[in-house]
Structure 1
Amino acid sequence: MMTGMNTEVCDPAELAALREIFASRPEALPPIGSDAVRSFEAEHGIVLPEPYRTFVAEVCDGLRAGPPSYGLLPLAQTPPDWGSGRPERLLAEPFPLTEAWLWEMEDDETALSEQEFEDRTAPVYDHGSLLLGTDGCGMYWHLIVTGPQRGHVWLIDENGAIPFGTRPGTCLMPGTPGFSGWVTHWAQDRSWFAEA
């Protein structure tokens, strides 16, 4: 399990780095303010992890162009391709994973029926996370807001769920974990995935 992030107090250096990255982007949406953040948290029974919490309140509530490819979503929005018939997103329910799960790699002996697969993966998509955006083709970036992975960013798509930012050589997506690390990685125009 990944640890070491402080999701309770906003690090001034992280916030300064985020401000610098977004200051030069005319496509950045204005921040929503602390009252709107507190209202959202009360409505959903959560406290957003830092530095994302301060970021949306004071710096920016979305970006029309990257990160990810189709823009950073405003707080609590879903991308157009998310679909309207999906189950309700339950932010207060803990995100169920603590390590990558590549369901496409499971062999036929452990394969689940379609209903079992849907029952098992639905919480991965809908519990304890905010959607940050999409890279298209069903690739969704989630900020985990509840559970042991709180504060981490995960990529969830048709192939599996992978955390961003773990030790190099041990994960498909090495980098600095958390929202700030994810944004910085994007701003440096680096590949999300480890080189083979």
Structure 2
Amino acid sequence: MDNDHVDPAELAALREAFGADDGGASALGWEAVRAFEAQHGVILPEPYRTCVAEVTDGSSQGPPEYGLVALAEGGGKQRLAEPFPLTRMWLWEQDDGGYEDPGAVIEQVAGDGSIVLGTDGCGMDWHLIVSGPHRGHIWQITGEGAVPFGAEFGHTTAEPGFAGWVRHWADGKEWFDSPAV
């Protein structure tokens, strides 16, 4: 997973997955992406950054179930420059995660360092981490907890990051398809 350089093969796979054959007409363009980054004090991780600039800024054709939301919708109200606070799965209904004030951390999980990519419904939202140690990783955040996505974290056989997340969806796989689950 390379957060700083886009892989041409990954970009081609993203174009195919999102059905972006409109020549980039549904994309934001580089000027708008750079303006968003400057406004929020972050550089978006690749390949999401190039996808939004050149492929599509949101898509009704998943992932997730209800489609990929536009950058301004998914990141406009978030505190993107603040680091995402987690580095491991946390089910807050089961424990306090070792935090002095778990309620404050839960609030940070929902608003700091991530862009909402979309939802699978019933409060199961997907986030792209843009700040902190998990920059570039995808997390599912629900009312019960937060889980990182990618084979290295268990629960799934997918590659980490935005391209791995999209590829897993495009291949028709269940999100959490690891035999260990």
TM-score by length of 1: 0.82
Structure 2's unaligned 5+ residue stretches are none
Kept in 2, the 8 Å contact 1:44–1:91? The answer is yes
Q: Shift in Å at residue 111 of structure 1?
A: 8.9
Aligned residue for 1:142, secondary structure, equals strand
After superposition, give the CA deviation of every residue in 1:100-154 in whole Å (9 maximum; x if it has no partner).
1122222xxx599xxx442120111100000000111111100000111011000
Aligned residue for 2:66, secondary structure, equals coil
> Does 1:151 pair with 2:133?
no
- Separation in 2 of the partners of 1:64 and 1:117? 35
The one of 140, 163, 172 equivalent to 1:189 is 172
**What residue in structure 2 maps to residue 96 of structure 1?**
85
- Separation in 1 of the partners of 2:136 and 2:97? 31
After superposition, give the CA deviation of every residue in 1:70-98 in whole Å (9 maximum; x if it has no partner).
1100103149xxxxxxxx52100000111
Q: Shift in Å at residue 190 of structure 1?
A: 0.5
Change (3 A) 1:56 1:176: same
Q: Which amino acid aligns with 1:187?
A: A
Kept in 1, the 8 Å contact 2:85–2:105? The answer is no
Kept in 2, the 8 Å contact 1:90–1:126? The answer is yes
> What is the count of residue pairs matched by the alignment?
176
**What residue in structure 1 maps to residue 116 of structure 2?**
131
- Separation in 1 of the partners of 2:47 and 2:78? 22
Change (3 A) 1:145 1:7: same
- Separation in 1 of the partners of 2:44 and 2:52? 10
Task: State the structure with more CA Rg.
Answer: 1
- Separation in 2 of the partners of 1:24 and 1:61? 10
Aligned residue for 1:104, secondary structure, equals coil
Taking the TM superposition and a 5 Å limit, the aligned residue runs for 1:1-196 are: 5-23=1-19, 30-78=26-74, 89-106=78-95, 116-167=101-152, 171-193=154-176, 194-195=178-179, 196=181
Kept in 1, the 8 Å contact 2:15–2:21? The answer is no
Q: Shift in Å at residue 24 of structure 1?
A: 6.3
Q: Which amino acid aligns with 1:119?
A: A
Q: Shift in Å at residue 25 of structure 1?
A: 7.7
Q: Which amino acid aligns with 1:74?
A: A
Q: Shift in Å at residue 22 of structure 1?
A: 2.0
TM-score by length of 2: 0.88
- Separation in 2 of the partners of 1:175 and 1:187? 11
- Separation in 1 of the partners of 2:144 and 2:80? 23
Structure 1's unaligned 5+ residue stretches are 80-87
- Separation in 2 of the partners of 1:111 and 1:161? 11
